[in-house]
Amino acid sequence: MDHSRVPVLEALQEFRRRGDVVYGPPGHKQGRGVDPRVADVVGLDVFRSDVLSLNGLDDRRQSQEMLGQAQDLMADAVGAERAFFSTCGSSLSVKTAMLAVAGPGEKLLVSRNAHKSVIAAVVVNGVEPIWVHPKFDAGRHLAHPPEPDDVRRRLREHPDAKGMLLITPTDWGTCADVAGVARVCHEFDVPLIVDEAWGAHFPFHPELPAWGMDAEADLVVTSVHKMGGAIEQSSVFHLQYDRVSPEVLKQREDLLGTTSASSLVYATLDGWRRQMVEHGHVLLDAALCRAERVRSAVGDLPGLRPMGREVVKEGLAADVDPLKIAIDVRDLGITGMQAAEWLRAHRHVDVGGSDTCRINASLTHADDDETEEVLLGALRALADSADSIERQPPVRLPASPALELEQALLPRDAFFAPVEHVPAEHAAGRISAETISPYPPGVPVVAPGEVVTDGVLDYLRSGVDHGVLIPDAADPTLRTLRVVART
């Protein structure tokens, strides 16, 4: 295929060259009506390129089929049989992917280190989740994706399960043995869906962890905006084999997706694919060298412990994305959240994530010598200044079994049940009617239907005292919890 072509971008360029006047959405009419104070900040070009596909980029019959062509090029670039663009982020794509495999009342294996969008999908889709618990790394207080044997055990227990959803890489960059899990799923003749939101760059360099399609997954969802070069909300489904029908995927996507897809998202996805096919290897080579340099320099700083390949061993992770620089800061006597806040306030450096133990900086093809030096300079300053940061009592981190909560009700039944709000002191033993996810990374500690325990409450509330944010709970302070009412 001709990867120098960018069908959506070319249509956009042509639309702008023709100077079409549109009498439909968007109402700003390619920037004619935009408040200049808005254009001053975001630029007029954003509005000039904000045009619908139907009766905009393309005609009423969509006769150019530029989206189809762009998707075919993407599929070819990453070795998938089919690719579909989505403009609603992987939060929506993952719901669609799950719905394409298991409908209401059907069982789906789901690895429990799931992003909150997956738990939301379980509620919205009405699926019965068969949780596959992650590998808990007690020393690092990190959850890594489950292993093939964990999946085999659950499939034996639930032979009527329709498939498996695996989340890899994690927000901290640790990866599953996707090929091993795919083999197990295929032994049971069910599809493997991979939420590879953080892995959009994997297809484009052999030294990166195995890419889901290469590892024989059936359906892979990526968020290109996370580690790739398209704008926010850009997500792609990739499909291969015949365990998931493209027709079913398309129709279920249509249930959830927008009817006003952003051409900006499509155009930047198109451009990212061309850039990666033409220059991806060189760009990612440079990023990998940079990441190695950064990791080694951070390791020389007092009190900072960057995570590397030592985490790759049986019972922990199967692989790790070298471009994720996860740094344990506990030896500085502070939490990751404090480190993140200090870096932003004192060095204008915004890290990608933080939790009680660590911070996380993602490097991509976009980094250069300047961003490398900014990051290292800021981390040096953090190590030098840590003594001046206020000490806090430690977050009470639970042992791993305490995080595996009993599922008393289906998530959907609990979410839509009559509820009451109880003081946290009285919440142990009650069934949660809400999702409680420290954010970021947004992996729920409590899902609807799970029985709250004292151990988990203690962990969450001591986290809140340290500034952990719980945006999805009805009461983000966790003084009260929303639980299923007693009848």
Q: Which residues bind ligand PLP (CB under 6 A)?
A: 89-91, 94, 115, 117, 167, 171, 195, 197, 223, 235, 442
Instruction: Name the residue among 246, 220, 265, 263 with its Cα closest to residue 89.
Output: 265
Q: Tell me the C-alpha distance between 74 and 421, whole Å.
A: 48
For ligand PLP, give the closer residue by CB, 116 or 205.
Answer: 116
Minimum distance from residue 96 beta carbon to ligand PLP (Å): 12
For ligand PLP, give the closer residue by CB, 93 or 275.
Answer: 93
Q: Tell me the C-alpha distance between 411 and 125, whole Å.
A: 10
Q: Tell me the C-alpha distance between 147 and 410, whole Å.
A: 25
Alpha-carbon torsion (393, 353, 168, 159), positive or negative: positive
User: Torsions phi, psi of 42, nearest 5?
Assistant: -95, -10
Is residue 150 left, alpha or beta, with left meaning phi > 0 and alpha meaning psi from -120 to 50? alpha
Alpha-carbon torsion (394, 399, 405, 411), positive or negative: positive
Q: Tell me the C-alpha distance between 454 and 443, whole Å.
A: 19
For ligand PLP, give the closer residue by CB, 34 or 307.
Answer: 307
For ligand PLP, give the closer residue by CB, 118 or 427.
Answer: 118
For ligand PLP, give the closer residue by CB, 236 or 451.
Answer: 236
The tokens describing 288, both together, are 């990998």
Minimum distance from residue 91 beta carbon to ligand PLP (Å): 3
Which residue's Cβ lies closest to ligand PLP?
89
Minimum distance from residue 234 beta carbon to ligand PLP (Å): 8
For ligand PLP, give the closer residue by CB, 181 or 379.
Answer: 181
Minimum distance from residue 223 beta carbon to ligand PLP (Å): 3
The tokens describing 307, both together, are 């995570």
Burial of 215 (0-12, 13-18, 19+ CB in 10 A): buried
Separation of first and last alpha carbons in the chain:
62
Alpha-carbon torsion (258, 263, 265, 269), positive or negative: positive
For ligand PLP, give the closer residue by CB, 83 or 431.
Answer: 83
Minimum distance from residue 326 beta carbon to ligand PLP (Å): 14
Minimum distance from residue 195 beta carbon to ligand PLP (Å): 5
Q: Tell me the C-alpha distance between 328 and 359, whole Å.
A: 7
For ligand PLP, give the closer residue by CB, 185 or 193.
Answer: 193
